[in-house]
Amino acid sequence: MLKQLFFSAAMAALSLAGQSIDRTKPPQTPPIPDYKLPPTYESKLPNGMAVVLVQDDRFPLVTARLNFQAGSRFDPKQTPGLAEAVAELLKSGTTTRTARQISEEADDLGGTVTAMAGPDALTVMGNGLSEKLTNLVALMADISIHAAFPADEVNLYKQNRLQNLRLQKSDPAFLSEEKFAEVIFGSSGYAHLAPTEQAIGQLDAKVLSQFRDMYLVPNNATLILIGRLPDRAKLLNTVTQSFGAWPQKELPPAPALELPKTHREIVLVNRPGSVQADVHVGQLGPTRLNPDAFPLTVGEALLGGGTNSRMFKDIRERDGFAYDAHSEYRPNRQAASVQAVTEVRNEVIEPALKATLAELSDLSAPVKPDELSNTKNFLSGTYLLRLETQDGLARQLNTVKTLGLPMDYLETYTTRVRSVEPDQIQAVAKKYLDPNQASIVVVGDAAKIGEPLKKFGSVTVVPANQ
């Protein structure tokens, strides 16, 4: 029998060896399937809190997100960074638990409980063993509703955040992102990426509690639970026990959104001694609900979305101008930005910027079928990979709620990517990636790169510490 098996295996190997393989062409990508959400149920408590339950029995784990429309765009103008501070300090102590007790209880869950704030949303995040689900929900409710913001914890946060801010301000990549946001988003809340030293100094329990009481309310919240969940009625009772007595409140009007008109502007953030220049070129883009969003998603990925993108292959690999050359499409709920980003040596700032602008211009020309197909496959494949884990799915559902997208958004994503046509990419490129309208923000040594930049238009020079 062993001799017969060996003979069969040898003959199969010889048969394969005899087949000719064209190694000059990459293997064909198999069809990428659509995504199908696990069993999902949506409900709402009498106090207005939305609940999304997603059954995933693969592991005895639960991942939770409690989403509030309370991100940095809701920060008062005099206190940028307030939402970030509230998120960070929610777990620093409540009326019944100390920071240490919160940390120990999170450990007992077999997971973590934390919070963070983005441009649009403040999200309380947790995960743990399914058998500890009741405790997880109770702990997330306590820090969301009853955070006490103890003075010693607030003071420690202020000291650490001040040091971190100064470290951020020493990083040219952060300075370029910060200034680009200011140029693109003007006076809106999307314009600030970090607090000021003055704003940090103003933080206290009263300021933090006022923001919490204003925006962290049930009728502004969505609880997402994903994992091996108990019977639905039992679970909703558990959620009601922790959140049901939380009274809803009237929400204040959303901050006004005042965006500058798209126009060519060149801003040079002077950082004496820099041996390279950090360059951001871009303008306002469409939100995710805009029909232009998917054509721009594909076009931006084609431009600079990975190692097979044009910017990577041309500016980095062919020309050797930059180690980093990529593009970014960042959609928020009410506004978005799209940009090309490079970090280049001082001596090549002029040809590198010319090459970047040329890449934007070339995107408005017809796209080759193979290039478009590869980009669609890349986007669809990486998207499906992000949804494989509980945490990945929780992140995406949280984004859906943050941006106000329909619940079928995740299931239709790959289909909508695949349906993008070349003429749509050309249209959005002319609209959102026009090299003649794009704003240019550069961080570098003005004495070394100021003159070359003037060849592209009038340059406004600002100090790095402004």
**What's the pLDDT tens digit per position in 312-368?**
999 999 999 999 999 999 999 999 999 999 999 999 999 999 999 999 999 999 999
Q: 439: Cβ–Cβ under 8 A, 6 or more apart, which residues?
A: 180, 183, 184, 262, 263, 264, 265, 266, 267, 281, 282, 283
**pLDDT tops 80 at residue 19:** no
Q: What digits encode the pLDDT tens for the residues 67-111?
A: 999 999 999 999 999 999 999 999 999 999 999 999 999 999 999
439-464: average pLDDT: 97
Alpha helices in 170-231 (DSSP H): 172-185, 197-201, 205-215
pLDDT exceeds cutoff 90 at 3 = no
Which superfamily, per CATH, for 40-243? Metalloenzyme, LuxS/M16 peptidase-like (3.30.830.10)
pLDDT at 32: 75
CATH architecture of the domain with range 266-463? 2-Layer Sandwich (3.30)
Taking the C-alpha atoms of residue 362 and residue 357, their distance in angstroms, rounded to an integer, is 9
Q: How far apart are CA 246 and CA 47, in angstroms?
A: 7
Contacts of residue 36, defined as CB under 8 A and 6 or more positions apart, other chains included, come to 411
Confidence band of 14 (pLDDT split at 50, 70, 90): very low
Please write the tens of the pLDDT for every residue from 368-396: 999 999 999 999 999 999 999 999 999 99
pLDDT at 33: 78
How large is the average pLDDT for residues 441-448?
97
pLDDT of residue 155: 98
Q: 59 by DSSP, 3-state: which?
A: coil
pTM score of the predicted model: 0.91
Contact, 87 vs 117, CB < 8 A? Answer: yes
Instruction: Give the contacts of 63 (CB within 8 A, at least 6 positions apart).
Output: 126, 127, 225, 226, 227, 390, 391, 393, 394
Q: Using the predicted structure, report yes or no on whether residue 18 has a pLDDT greater than 80.
A: no
Q: What is the pLDDT of residues 167-187, one digit of tens each?
A: 999 999 999 999 999 999 999
| Residue position matching structure tokens 């063993």 | 129
Question: Quick one: pLDDT at residue 262?
Answer: 87
* CB-based contacts of 414, cutoff 8 Å, min separation 6: 32, 33, 34, 35, 380, 383, 384
Position 52 confidence tier, pLDDT thresholds 50, 70, 90: very high
pLDDT digit string, tens, across residues 228-255 = 999 999 999 999 999 999 999 999 998 9
CATH 3.30.830.10 positions along the chain are 40-243, 266-463
- Asked if 131 and 60 count as a contact pair (C-beta separation under 8 A), the reply is yes
